[in-house]
A = this chain, B = another copy of it.
Amino acid sequence: NINQRKQEAVQFPLKVVEIAAGELDPAVWGLNFPSQYDSFKRTQENYGETPYGGSEPYSKLERYPAMIRLWAGYAFSKDHNEERGHYYAQIDQENTQRVQIVNQPGACINCHAAEAPGLIAEMGWENFNHTPYNDLKDQLHFGSSCADCHDPVTMDLVITRPAFRNAMEQRGIDLSQATRQEMRSYVCAQCHVEYYFLGDNKVLTFPWSQGLTIDNIEAHYDSYGFTDWTHAETGAPMIKIQHPEFEMWSTGLHARSGVSCADCHMPYVRAGSVKVSDHWLRSPLVNVSQACQTCHNRPEEELTERILTIQNTTASLLRQSEEAILAAIDAIVAAREAGVTDAELEEALLLHRGASLRWDFVSSENSTGFHSPQESARILAESINLARQAELAAYKLQAGK
């Protein structure tokens, strides 16, 4: 046994096949890297729910019915589930009503299929983005693949998605100078970020021109009056935020202390006598000993309790923020019914927009506050403040009629 382990250590990595440049099939890569492949495959497993996350794809709309009204008029209000393992990246996208009730662009594919870089090379960046999703979907077979993150020859981490490269370039960050530790978060930032489709070509873009905080992102959108949709009840010009894990994390103490996504979501595990990165990306709550104890020498229960304390606090503020925004929506609707005009309502509608995008930034961020506890609470405080002001503004207009 020990003998075998000693050998394992020396022979690693063990090259069985040459991996071709366009190879997408994880099973082929897995011939050379069986233990990474074994754990990678486990993203298919349902390890159940955690209090706010986990891999059970329950309906978020059923659990938090406020969302239906908060997103009224947008496809998210019809279908939105808790996300699960990378294995499902393409499957879940193909099956969501969001690609059925709306004619989505190819831009959607960027983060949900290993074929994206190949298609982009073939079709050109803009063309790929604006071609309808439905025209391309039959070409998608692998959801997540090794090729998303790795160079097939060196196995180094690489950026394969243009949107992230473009966004970082705009911020003046030279990705070729990125350290290895930075790359351990940057590969995730190709997908786990807020995005929008810019212009008629639906070009996938990250709203980072002013920085990564929610205030910066709002300023980016405001700078040219961008709107994702018009709220069905109030008529406000809305912004939808999706999975800003990278942005939220970057405001937190772990990021400032140099702790990467992979440190917690892909901790080293022993495979025989070598340490390998756990490619079963999942909630650290079901994996506290590996994900946290390397750095925090505390009992598992205590670390679990730390996560839950932060999340429960965030969740209580999320509920308060939802309540406040719903009250604002009611007040705006009532004002309209009382004859208040669109022009008069302008301020209230902008307040509604600001409150909602802040709530969404925390709500759609998948750690329920953990990635940046104080910042999440701050954002929700401001969301509540704006929502209540929207309510008041609408009420004053109504009373004036």
A residues sitting closer than 8 Å to B (CB atoms) are 253, 256-257, 298, 302, 306, 310, 313, 316-317, 320, 324, 369, 373-378, 380-382, 384-385, 388-389, 391-392, 395-396, 399
Residues of chain B with a CB closer than 8 A to A385's CB: 320, 324, 384, 388
Nearest CB in chain B: distance from A19 CB, A: 40
15 extra interchain contacts, Cβ-Cβ under 8 A, other than A256-B306, A313-B374, A395-B395?
Answer: A253-B306, A313-B375, A317-B381, A320-B385, A324-B385, A369-B374, A373-B373, A373-B374, A377-B377, A384-B385, A388-B389, A388-B391, A392-B395, A395-B399, A396-B399
- Max count, chain B CB within 10 A of own CB: residue among A316, A378, A395, A396: A378
Task: Give the contacting residue for A320; candidates B320, B369, B382, B392; CB below 8 A.
Answer: B382
DSSP class of A's interface residues: helix, strand, loop or mixed? helix
A381 touches B377 (CB 8 A): yes
Residues of chain B with a CB closer than 8 A to A391's CB: 388, 392
Residues of chain B with a CB closer than 8 A to A378's CB: 313, 316-317, 377
Residues of chain B with a CB closer than 8 A to A384's CB: 381, 384-385, 388
Residues of chain B with a CB closer than 8 A to A373's CB: 373-374
Task: Give the contacting residue for A374; candidates B302, B324, B377; CB below 8 A.
Answer: B377
A374 with B256: in contact, given A381-B384, A385-B384 (CB under 8 Å)? no
Chain B residue with minimal CB distance to A305? B256
Nearest CB in chain B: distance from A375 CB, A: 7
Nearest CB in chain B: distance from A253 CB, A: 7
Chain B residue with minimal CB distance to A253? B306
Nearest CB in chain B: distance from A111 CB, A: 30
Residues of chain B with a CB closer than 8 A to A389's CB: 388
Q: List 26 A-B contacts (CB under 8 A).
A: A313-B378, A316-B378, A317-B378, A320-B385, A369-B374, A373-B373, A373-B374, A374-B374, A374-B376, A374-B377, A377-B377, A377-B378, A377-B381, A380-B381, A381-B381, A384-B384, A384-B388, A388-B389, A388-B391, A388-B392, A392-B392, A392-B395, A395-B395, A395-B399, A396-B399, A399-B399
